[in-house]
Homo-oligomer: A and B are copies of this chain.
Amino acid sequence: MNETLGLPELDRDLDLTPTGGAEGDDERRFAADLPGGWSVGGGINGGFLLALLGEAVRRTVPERPDPVTLAATYVGASTAGPAEVVTRVLRHGTLTSVAVELSQGGALRISALATFSDLTLLSDEVATTGEPPALPPVEECPVSSDAPPEFRRLAPLVERFEMRFDPACAGWVAGRPSGRGELRAWFRFPDREPDPLALLMVADAMPPVTFDLGRPGWAPTVQLTVHVRAVPADGWLRLRQHTRNVAGGFFEEDCEIWDSAGRLVAQARQLARVPRA
C-alpha cells in the first residue's frame, strides 16, 4: 500500500487492512500479508507475530496504544502469505484487555490475551534490583550475519535487524557452545528506534538459547508471555536470554530487554520444545 512507502521496514510489514468492524467497535477484523522476510525455519518468527497482534490491538483501542502484557499460545506455525487477525475487547479501563487471534486459511495459528495501556501515564518509580547484562563494546561483538550460512538461509529474520552477540556466549556460531544456556547481545533496528510495540518483536528475536547448549535447530514456542515495563529510550538495546530448566523435552526461555538508559523495559518468558537431536 502506497501510504506505507518510506516507513521503517518493521512498520511497513506490520501493515493491516481493516476488513470488519468500525473504529470504536469492540470487535475488529484485519487482513495481513505475512512477509517471508521474518521467517525462521519455514515459519514466521513468533516475535514478529506478537508485534502484529499488538498492532491489531492498538488499532482496536488507539487510546491505549502500548502493550503491557501479551500472552500468546502458538497453536500452529504461521507461514508467509495472507492471514486474518481478529480482536475482541474484554474490558476497557486504564488497563484495557483484548483477546486477539491470528488465522490462516481458516486455521487458527495463535490465540493471545493482551493488556494495553498508555505507558507514558505510569509513575516514575523505578526500584529495579536486576542488573543489565555486562556486554563488551558493540564493535567487539560479532553481528548475527556472521552466523553459519545454513542458519542465515533458514532464518532471513536475522537480516531484519542488527544483533551483536557477546563473544563469551557466541561459541555456538563456531560449534563451541558454552553449555551455560545463556545468550547476550546488543540489538537495534537499522531504520527506527525501539518503542513498546517493537519490543514484542525483540522479545523473541534471539536464536533459541538451546543453541548455547549444543542443541541447534528449531525450538517451537508453545507459549510466550511478554511484559513491557517502560517506554524504551532511543539507542541500542541489550538482550539477555537464558534457561534454567531443560526437562521432559521442553525448556523455559527468559528474555530481558534493557534500554540504553539502563532500564529493564521488557521481560519475556516462553515455554518451547527442545529441538530434536
Using CB atoms and an 8 Å cutoff, list the residues of chain A in contact with chain B: 68-69, 71-73, 75-76, 90-91, 95, 97, 99, 108, 111-115, 119, 122-130, 180-181, 213, 222-223, 225, 227, 229-230, 243-250, 252, 263-264, 267, 269, 271, 274
Which of B69, B75, B180 makes the CB contact (< 8 A) with A73?
Answer: B69
A223 to B72, CA, bound (A): 12
Q: If the complex has contacts A125-B246, A225-B225, are A90 and B108 also in contact, measured as CB distance less than 8 A?
A: yes
A227 to B244, CA, bound (A): 13
Q: Which residues of B contact A264 (CB under 8 A)?
A: 244-245, 247
Please list 19 pairs of residues, one from A and one from B, whose beta carbons are closer than 8 Å in the complex, sorted by A's number.
A71-B73, A72-B113, A95-B222, A99-B111, A111-B113, A113-B113, A119-B248, A122-B250, A126-B246, A127-B246, A127-B247, A130-B244, A130-B245, A225-B269, A227-B252, A227-B271, A229-B245, A230-B247, A244-B264
Tell me whether chain A's interface is mostly helix, strand or loop, or mixed. strand
Residues in B neighbouring A128, C-beta threshold 8 A: 244-247
**Could you tell me the distance between the alpha carbons of A264 and B248 in the complex, rounded to whole angstroms?**
11
| Inter-chain contacts of A111 with B (CB < 8 A) | 90, 97, 99, 113
Do A71 and B267 have beta carbons less than 8 Å apart? Answer: no
| Separation of A271 and B269 alpha carbons in the complex (Å) | 12
Contact residues in B for A252 (Cβ distance below 8 Å) = 227, 229, 267
Q: Are B269 and A129 in contact (CB under 8 A)?
A: no
Is B71 in contact with A97, judged by CB distance below 8 angstroms? no
